[in-house]
Amino acid sequence: MMDALSVVTQLRDLASEPQNREVIVQDQGCLPGLVLFLDHKNPEVLLATLQTLRYLSEMSPNIPIMKNELGMMVSLETLMERKGLSVDLTSLAREVYDILITPITARPTTHDRERGKKPQFFINSSNKKAKSVTLHIQGLDGSEQRSLCEEALLKVKGVISFTFQMASKRCTVRIRADLSTESLATAIAATKTLSAQQVVKNEEGDEVLMSLNVSEAEVQQNTALPDYLPEDEDSPEKDLSRAVSRTTAKDDSSGTWLNAAASFLTKTFYW
Contacting residues for 52 by C-beta, under 8 A, at least 6 apart? 8, 11, 12, 15, 34
Report the pLDDT value the prediction gives residue 219, as an integer from 0 to 100.
Answer: 59
Nearest to 150 by CA among 56, 41, 10: 10
Supply the DSSP symbol for 166: G
In a domain, 183, yes or no: yes
| Pairwise pLDDT comparison (255 vs 51), residue with the higher score | 51
Residue 33 sits in a domain whose CATH number is 1.20.930
Among candidate residues 123, 144, 161, the one where a domain is terminated: 123
Q: Are residues 15 and 114 in the same domain?
A: yes
Q: Are residues 97 and 138 in the same domain?
A: no
C-alpha 249/C-alpha 167 separation (Å) is: 10
C-alpha separations of 254 from 12, 22, 95, 111, 231 in Å: 22, 22, 37, 43, 31
Report the pLDDT value the prediction gives residue 52, as an integer from 0 to 100.
Answer: 93
Residue 145 sits in a domain whose CATH number is 3.30.70.100
C-alpha 120/C-alpha 117 separation (Å) is: 9
In a domain, 82, yes or no: yes
Contacting residues for 14 by C-beta, under 8 A, at least 6 apart? 20, 24, 163, 242, 244, 247, 257, 258
In a domain, 248, yes or no: no
Q: Are residues 117 and 192 in the same domain?
A: no
C-alpha separations of 51 from 182, 226, 229 in Å: 27, 11, 11
Whole-model pTM? 0.48
| Pairwise pLDDT comparison (34 vs 110), residue with the higher score | 34
Q: At residue 270, does pLDDT exceed 80?
A: no
210-241 pLDDT, tens digit per residue, is 998 887 655 555 544 444 443 443 343 443 33
Report the pLDDT value the prediction gives residue 105, as an integer from 0 to 100.
Answer: 57
* Domain total of the chain: 2
In a domain, 264, yes or no: no
Q: At residue 122, does pLDDT exceed 50?
A: no
From first CA to last CA, the distance across the chain in angstroms is 20
Question: Do the Cβ atoms of 129 and 177 come closer than 8 Å?
Answer: yes
Which region among 22-26, 111-115, 175-179, 256-260 has the lowest average model confidence (pLDDT)?
Answer: 111-115
Supply the DSSP symbol for 58: T
**Phi and psi for 218 in degrees, rounded to 5?**
-75, 135
Question: Do the Cβ atoms of 263 and 27 come closer than 8 Å?
Answer: no
Q: At residue 204, does pLDDT exceed 60?
A: yes
Q: At residue 8, does pLDDT exceed 50?
A: yes
**Phi and psi for 260 in degrees, rounded to 5?**
-65, -40
Which residue type occupies 240? L
Q: Are residues 81 and 182 in the same domain?
A: no
Domain assignment of residue 93, given as a range? 4-123
Q: Are residues 159 and 206 in the same domain?
A: yes
In a domain, 261, yes or no: no
Report the pLDDT value the prediction gives residue 255, as an integer from 0 to 100.
Answer: 35
Q: At residue 115, does pLDDT exceed 50?
A: no
Nearest to 51 by CA among 110, 114, 125: 125
Q: Are residues 159 and 113 in the same domain?
A: no
In a domain, 254, yes or no: no
Q: Are residues 94 and 138 in the same domain?
A: no
Q: Are residues 97 and 141 in the same domain?
A: no
Residues in the chain, total: 271
Q: Are residues 35 and 106 in the same domain?
A: yes
37-66 pLDDT, tens digit per residue, is 999 999 999 999 999 999 999 899 999 999
C-alpha 221/C-alpha 187 separation (Å) is: 10
Q: Are residues 110 and 153 in the same domain?
A: no
Nearest to 171 by CA among 260, 242, 264: 242
Among candidate residues 96, 123, 150, the one where a domain is terminated: 123
In a domain, 252, yes or no: no
In a domain, 255, yes or no: no
Among candidate residues 123, 153, 181, the one where a domain is terminated: 123
Q: Are residues 119 and 24 in the same domain?
A: yes
Q: Are residues 112 and 145 in the same domain?
A: no
C-alpha 110/C-alpha 260 separation (Å) is: 35
